[in-house]
Structure 1
Amino acid sequence: MTNTNNIDNKACCSTDQHPDKPKKQEEKTSSSFLQTWGSGIVSLVILLAGIAADQWGQPAFFQGWIRIGWYVLAYLPVGWPVLVKGWKSILKGDVFTEFFLMGIATLGAFAIGEYPEAVAVMLFYAIGELFQDAAVNRAKRNIKALLDIRPDSASVYRSGQMVSVHPEEVQIGETIQVKPGEKVPLDGEMISEKSSFNTSALTGESKPATYNKGENVLAGMVNLDRLIELKVTRRFNESSLARILELVQNATARKAKTEQFIRKFARVYTPIVTFLAVGLTFLPYFFVENYVFEDWLYRALIFLVISCPCALVISIPLGYFGGIGAASRKGILFKGSNFLDLMTRVNTVVMDKTGTLTKGVFEVQKAVTMDGITTDWLSLAAAMESKSTHPIAKAITEYTKKQGKEISEPEQQEEIAGHGLKGKVNGKHVLIGNQKLMDKEGIVTCADAAGEVNTVIHIAVDQKYAGYLVIADELKEDAAQAINALHKSGVRELIMLSGDKNAVTQQVAKSLGIDKAFGDLLPEQKVEKVEELKKDTNRIIAFVGDGINDAPVLALADVGMAMGGLGSDAAIETADVVIQTDQPSKIATAIQIGKQTKRIVWQNIGLAFGVKVIVLALGAGGLATMWEAVFADVGVALLAILNAVRMQK
C-alpha cells in the first residue's frame, strides 16, 4: 500500500485555481491506474503459469535457473516499483517503511526458494493499491464535484459590449452577465429583478432558490430562469466558492488524535518488528536443538509480511477523509478530522436564536405612535437603519417603503453594541433600539410595549419618546426536528442564548423543548455564559451561531458551528464546522457522521490488530505460511479499506 503521506496527497485536490488543472490530474490518475492494472495482469498470468507447471510435476525445461527466471519475470512488474520506492525512502533517511518490509520479505522468500509466495505477496500488494486508489477516488468524488463547478469563463461588460474572459481577470464592481443554464462565475449582487438558481453544488439542497434584485448570488450556483446581470462583489480567488474549496481541500491537514497516534505508532512499530524478525531468525540458534536457518528465516519473513502496518496507515486516514466527504455531500463542512472526533463527545449544544433556529426574516407586525406625536418618526427610524444589513433593520426599511414614505440619508450615525443606534436625520436627533437604549438615555417608554411578547423596537426623537414597532420572526421548518434529533443523539443539555428580549426567547425555547434559555444578552454576555459553562470540565460544548455577531463565542466553544455561513467571511474564518444549508437539523447529522466515522475507524483498528496478533503468533510458531501472511497484511488492509468506504454511502 502507499505510505501515509501519499494518502494525504491523493486525498486532497489541487489548490490551483485554473479549471484545466483537475482534468490533468484525473488523466494522470487514470493513466497510473491502467499502468498498475496492466502490470498486475501480466504478473498474475506468469505466476499462474508457473504454479501450473509446478503442480504438473515440473517439466524438464522448468527447473533450475529457468524456473527462478520465470518467477523473477512474474515478480518484476509488481515488485520493482515497490523496491524503487523503498530505496528512495532509504536515501531520504526513512528506512523502516512498508516498502522496506515488503521488499525484504519477498527478496528473502526468493533467497530460500519460496518463489511463488514471493510473487504472490507483491501481486496482492499491487491489487491492494488498486483498491486503495478506487477508495481514495471515491472519497474525493464530492470534492471533485466542487472543483467541477468552478466556471472557466465570465461574460463581463467592457467598452460597451460583453466580452468573455477568465474569472480571475474580472474586477470588483464590474458587471457580468449569466445566461440560463450557466454557472455563476463570481460572487455578485443581483442587478436584474430576480431569477431562480440551483444551489445544490454548494449547499446539497435540490430545491431551487429565488434571488431578487439587491441580493447576493454566489459563484458556483447555476442560473435557471433568465438572462441576468450581476455586479461583482468579490475577486475570483476571494469568492465564497474559492474559500469553500480551500476549506475542504485542507481539511485533512488537521488530524484527529486517533489518526495522529496511529502515525506515531507506525513509526515506532515498524522498526521494532524488523528487529524482532531478525531476532526470530538468529536467536533460536542458541535455544533450539535442530536449528535450521532456512526454516527460521521463513518464519521471520512471514512475520515481516504480517506486521506491515498498511491496514492502519491507509484505512484510518481514509475513514476520516470519508467522513469529511460524506459530510460535505450533506452540506456540512468540517475544517479537520479532529472536529469529527470532537463532535462525538459533544454533550452540550448552545445555540443562538435568530438565524439559527428562526429564519431571521423579520416583519413589522404593528407600529404604535404615542399621543401628541406629529413627527414622521417612522421615516426617521428607517433612515437610521437604511445602512444596516441586520434583519430587523431590513424589516423596518421594507415596512417604511410599503407605507409609501421616503427614506433620507442620516447625517450622523453611531452604533451602540447590543442597544441600537443613535444619530441625526434632517436635523433631528434620533434614537432607535431596545429598552436598554431607552433606559441608558433616560427616556420613559410606553407601558403597553412592555407587555408585548415579540421584539419591540423603540424610537425617540429629540429625546422624546415617539413610538414603537413590534417585529416578529418565524421558526425554521426543521427547528423542532433539530431539537428532537439532538436529544436522541445523546446531547445532555440544550441551551439557547439570544440578544432578543427574554420573553420571546423563553417562548421559543418552550415551544421547541430547549432545556434552558437566556434572553436580553449582549455579545459579551454570551461569552460570559459559555465561559461559565466551560468551568464544568466534563462539558464538551458546541456553539451554533450565524458566524458574524457570534464570532467570539464560536471561537470560545470546543466546536464552533456557523449556521448558514456560506457567504460569511467570519463564519469560514472562525467556525470549526460550517453548515451551508442553514438547517439546524444538520447539527445532529454532523454528530451522527462523527460517530459513524469513529466507529468505522475503531473497527478497522480492532480488525487489523486482532488478525495480525493471531497470525503473528502462528507464524512465529511455524504454523502459518506466507499465504496466511498475505491475508493478514493485504487481505486485512483491503477489508479495512472496504469498511472505510462505507462512509461514502
Structure 2
Amino acid sequence: MDNNKQYKCTSCDSDESHDNSQSWKSYIPVAISLFMLLAGISLDNFLEHFFNSYIRIGWYILAYIPVAYPVLKEAIETIRQKDFFTEFTLMLVATLGAFFIGEYPEGVAVMLFYAIGELFQNSAVNKAKRNIKALLDVRPDTAVVERNGSYETVPPEIVKIDEIIQVKAGEKVPLDGIMISPSSSFNTSALTGESKPKTISEGETVLAGMLNVDKVITIKVTKKYEDSSLARILEMVQDATSRKAKTELLIRRFAKIYTPIVFALAVLITAIPYFIVNDYIFQDWLYRALVFLVISCPCALVVSIPLGYFGGIGAASKAGILFKGANYLDLMTKVNTVVMDKTGTLTKGVFDVQEVVAVDNIDKDELVGVVAAMEKFSNHPIAKAIVAFTRSKTDNYLASDIEEISGHGLIGKVNGKEVLVGNNKLMKRFNIDYDIRVDFIVETIVIAAIDGKYAGYITIADEVKEDAVDAIKNMHANGIDKIVMLSGDKASITEKVASILGIDNAYGDLLPEDKVKHLEGMKIDKSNIIAFVGDGINDAPSLALSDVGIAMGGMGSDAAIEVADIIIQTDQPSKIATAVKIAKSTRQVVIQNIILAFTVKILVLILGGFGLATMWEAVFADVGVSLLAILNAVRILRMKF
C-alpha cells in the first residue's frame, strides 16, 4: 500500500466513467494470479511428478508476474528518487526470497494478498472521495445571462459582476448574486447539508450551488465565479486533504526510519545464528527473515491513518462543516474553551421591531412613519428593520436635509418639521428632555424628537437562533469547559442573551481590538486551547489569533471565511459540537488503528523471529491488519453525528 500517495480531493474532479473502467481493469491481474495460484496448489503433486521442476517454477512465476509487476515499477521509481527502503522493495525482497528457497506458492500468495489489500485500499479511498464529490458535484457548467436584450448561454467563468442571469426551476444557481424576482424556494443541501427548502425573497442573497426548485427567477451577479461561495468551498475541501495532521506526519516519518531498521534486522536474523546455533541451516533462517520482512511492512499505518483523516473530512463535509486541513481535526479534539461572537453567530443578525411607544398627541403610525422616513437614508441594520416594519407607512412622510452624527443618530426634516432620530446621546446633545426610564431598557432603542420635543421610542431586538440553546448545552457535554461571548452590542443586551443561552461569561460594548485583547488575556493561560467563532469582518483578527478559528460560512464575510480554519456552512452554532464529535471520533479511529497494527505486528514478529510463524501468518499480519484498519477508517463515513 503506497505510502507515497497523496489523498487529494483534486481527483474528485476526474471523470467517473474513467474511474469505473480503471476499477474493473485493476481486478484482472489479481484474478489471473489467484486462479493460477489455486490451480498450482491443487495440481502441485501432478506438476511435480509429471513435469520437471522448471515447468513448476515457470507456472508460479507466471502467477507471480501480474501482481508483482506494478510493485516492481513502484520500487524502481522510488529507487530512482534515492528512496531504497520502501514497502515496495520490502515486498519484492520477501517474495523473491521465498522463490529462492523454493516456497513458490507462498511467494505468490504474499504478493497476491498485498495486491488484494491495494484493491481494498483504493476502494476505501474512492468511497471517501465519492462521498465528498457527491457534495461538491454541484458546479453548473453554464449560466444564462442577459445581454443585448436577450438571454444567451455562456460559461459561468465569463459572467461579469452586475450582469443579470436567469435560473429556471430545477437548475442550479451558477454564481452568487442578489435576488431580483419576488421570491423562490431553494434546496441548499449541497452548500449547507440541510435538506429543508429555503425561501429567498427579492433583495436577499442567493449563493452559487443552490438548487432553484420553484419558478424561473432572475439574479443580479455580485461576485465573479472564482470568488463565489461554491468555488471557495471546492478549493477549501481540495486543500484540506493535503494538509496533514501531526499524527499522520509522525507516522510517515516513523515509517521512513522503521523500514531500513527492519531490513537490517532481517539480515541479522539470517546471519547471527550462523555463529551461535550448532545445527544452523541457512534456508531455515532465511525463511524466518523473509517472514519477518513481510510481517514488518508498515502498510496498515501509512495507509489507514491518512484515510482516517480523509474520512473525517468527508463526514464533516456531509454535515455542512468544512475543515481546512486534517491538522484542525486534531486541534479540535483539544479545544476546551470556545469564545463566540453574538450577532450573526448566536443570533440571526436580523433585527425586528419589538415595541413602538409614542407620547403626548403623537400617533404610533405617525411616529414610525417619521422615523422610517429618516432611516431610509441609513444602511444600518437597525434602520433597515424599521423601514421594513413600516412598509407603506412612509408614503406620506418626506425627509430632507438629512445629516448623520456618527455614534449618535440622524438629524433632518420630515414634512418641514425638525426631527432627531437616534440614541440617548443624541437627545442629550440637543438638550431634549426624554423619559429617563428609556435608559434602562435592555433592547436596542431608537429615540425620536419632533420640533425639539420628545416624541417616543422604538425598540429593536435581534432574534436568537433556534439551535443556540442546544448548541451551548452540547458543547459543554462534549468537553468544552468554558464558553465566553464577546460582542460589540451593548453590555446589557449581551448579558441578557448570555443568560438565556447559559453562556459562562459575556462581555459587551467591545470594539474588534477589545475582542483581541480579551483573547490575548485568555491565551496567557497555556492550558486554554481556544476556538473563536464569528462571522463578520470585525471578527477576522480574533479568528486569526485563536488556536482554531471557526467562521459561519453561509452568510459570513469573505474576510472571516478566509482567515478561519473551520467553516460552518449552515450558520448553525450547534454544528460546533458536531465538529468536536467528528474530530474526536476520527482521532479515536486513528488511535485504534495504530494500536491494532502495532499489537498484531509485534506479536507475529516475535513468533516469526523464533520460527513459530509461517508466511501465511505473515500475510495476515501485513495485509489482514491493513484491511481491518482500512475498514475501521471507512467506518467514520457511516457514523451518525
- Relative to structure 1, the CA distance from residue 460 to residue 80 in structure 2 (aligned partners, 3 Å threshold; closer, same or farther) is farther
Sequence identity percentage: 60
1:582 and 2:575 correspond: no
* 1:3 alignment counterpart: 3
Which amino acid is the alignment partner of residue 577 of structure 1? I
2:385 corresponds to which of 379, 391, 395: 395
Which amino acid is the alignment partner of residue 8 of structure 1? Y
Give the SS at the match of 2:589: helix
Q: Distance in 2 between matches of 1:483 and 1:499?
A: 20
* 2:25 alignment counterpart: 35
In the TM superposition, 1:603-618 aligns within 5 A as 603-618=592-607
2:498 corresponds to which of 506, 509, 525: 509
* 1:332 alignment counterpart: 321
* 1:17 alignment counterpart: none
- Relative to structure 1, the CA distance from residue 217 to residue 407 in structure 2 (aligned partners, 3 Å threshold; closer, same or farther) is farther
* 1:479-522 Cα distance to aligned partner (Å, 9 max, x none): 11111111211211121222222222222222222222222222
Which amino acid is the alignment partner of residue 574 of structure 1? V
Give the SS at the match of 2:531: strand
1:470 and 2:463 correspond: no
Moved more, 405-414 or 567-576: 405-414
Shift of 1:437: 7.8
* 1:62-102 Cα distance to aligned partner (Å, 9 max, x none): 44110110000000111111011101110121221111111
1:382 and 2:346 correspond: no
Q: Distance in 2 between matches of 1:561 and 1:433?
A: 34
- Relative to structure 1, the CA distance from residue 459 to residue 529 in structure 2 (aligned partners, 3 Å threshold; closer, same or farther) is farther
* 1:485 alignment counterpart: 474
In the TM superposition, 1:59-74 aligns within 5 A as 59-74=48-63
Give the SS at the match of 1:536: coil
Which amino acid is the alignment partner of residue 395 of structure 1? A
1:404 corresponds to which of 361, 383, 394: 394
Q: Distance in 2 between matches of 1:108 and 1:462?
A: 102
1:142 and 2:142 correspond: no
* 2:511 alignment counterpart: 522
In the TM superposition, 1:557-636 aligns within 5 A as 557-565=546-554, 568-636=557-625
* 2:218 alignment counterpart: 229
Is the 2:409–2:423 contact (alpha carbons within 8 Å) kept by the matching residues of 1? Answer: no
- Relative to structure 1, the CA distance from residue 278 to residue 402 in structure 2 (aligned partners, 3 Å threshold; closer, same or farther) is farther
Moved more, 194-203 or 446-455: 446-455
1:290 and 2:290 correspond: no
Shift of 1:423: 8.4
Shift of 1:260: 1.3
Is the 1:384–1:423 contact (alpha carbons within 8 Å) kept by the matching residues of 2? Answer: no
Is the 2:443–2:459 contact (alpha carbons within 8 Å) kept by the matching residues of 1? Answer: yes
* 1:52 alignment counterpart: 42
Shift of 1:421: 6.1
Is the 2:372–2:383 contact (alpha carbons within 8 Å) kept by the matching residues of 1? Answer: no
* 1:13 alignment counterpart: 11
- Relative to structure 1, the CA distance from residue 443 to residue 516 in structure 2 (aligned partners, 3 Å threshold; closer, same or farther) is farther
- Relative to structure 1, the CA distance from residue 46 to residue 460 in structure 2 (aligned partners, 3 Å threshold; closer, same or farther) is farther
1:314 and 2:303 correspond: yes
Q: Distance in 1 between matches of 2:238 and 2:178?
A: 27
Which amino acid is the alignment partner of residue 648 of structure 1? L
1:106 corresponds to which of 89, 95, 108: 95
Q: Distance in 2 between matches of 1:110 and 1:462?
A: 104
Shift of 1:166: 1.4
Give the SS at the match of 1:403: helix
1:264 and 2:253 correspond: yes
Shift of 1:381: 4.3
Give the SS at the match of 2:350: coil
Is the 1:478–1:584 contact (alpha carbons within 8 Å) kept by the matching residues of 2? Answer: yes
Give the SS at the match of 1:550: helix
Is the 2:488–2:508 contact (alpha carbons within 8 Å) kept by the matching residues of 1? Answer: yes
Shift of 1:38: 0.9
Q: Distance in 1 between matches of 2:374 and 2:138?
A: 43
Shift of 1:360: 1.9
- Relative to structure 1, the CA distance from residue 563 to residue 431 in structure 2 (aligned partners, 3 Å threshold; closer, same or farther) is farther
Moved more, 364-373 or 469-478: 364-373
Q: Distance in 1 between matches of 2:134 and 2:466?
A: 28
- Relative to structure 1, the CA distance from residue 393 to residue 615 in structure 2 (aligned partners, 3 Å threshold; closer, same or farther) is farther
Q: Distance in 2 between matches of 1:408 and 1:261?
A: 68
Superposition CA RMSD, Å: 2.8
Give the SS at the match of 2:7: helix
Which amino acid is the alignment partner of residue 588 of structure 1? A
Q: TM-score with structure 2 length normalisation?
A: 0.92
Give the SS at the match of 1:13: helix
Q: Distance in 2 between matches of 1:409 and 1:617?
A: 91
In the TM superposition, 1:70-149 aligns within 5 A as 70-149=59-138
* 1:38-61 Cα distance to aligned partner (Å, 9 max, x none): 11111100000001112x464533
Shift of 1:620: 1.1
Is the 2:135–2:317 contact (alpha carbons within 8 Å) kept by the matching residues of 1? Answer: no
Q: Distance in 2 between matches of 1:334 and 1:437?
A: 46
Moved more, 465-474 or 569-578: 465-474
In the TM superposition, 1:319-468 aligns within 5 A as 319-368=308-357, 378-379=371-372, 381-385=374-378, 387-388=379-380, 390=381, 392-405=382-395, 419=407, 446-458=435-447, 468=457
- Consecutive unaligned residues of structure 2, counting only runs of 5 or more, are none
Q: TM-score with structure 1 length normalisation?
A: 0.91
State how many pairs are aligned: 632
Which amino acid is the alignment partner of residue 454 of structure 1? E
Q: Distance in 1 between matches of 2:400 and 2:26?
A: 69
Give the SS at the match of 1:365: strand
Shift of 1:159: 2.0
* 2:171 alignment counterpart: 182
Q: Distance in 2 between matches of 1:639 and 1:317?
A: 15
2:148 corresponds to which of 144, 159, 166: 159
Is the 2:402–2:410 contact (alpha carbons within 8 Å) kept by the matching residues of 1? Answer: no
Moved more, 129-138 or 503-512: 503-512
Shift of 1:286: 2.1
- Relative to structure 1, the CA distance from residue 465 to residue 162 in structure 2 (aligned partners, 3 Å threshold; closer, same or farther) is same
Moved more, 434-443 or 575-584: 434-443
Shift of 1:408: 6.3
In the TM superposition, 1:525-564 aligns within 5 A as 525-564=514-553
Q: Distance in 2 between matches of 1:113 and 1:252?
A: 44
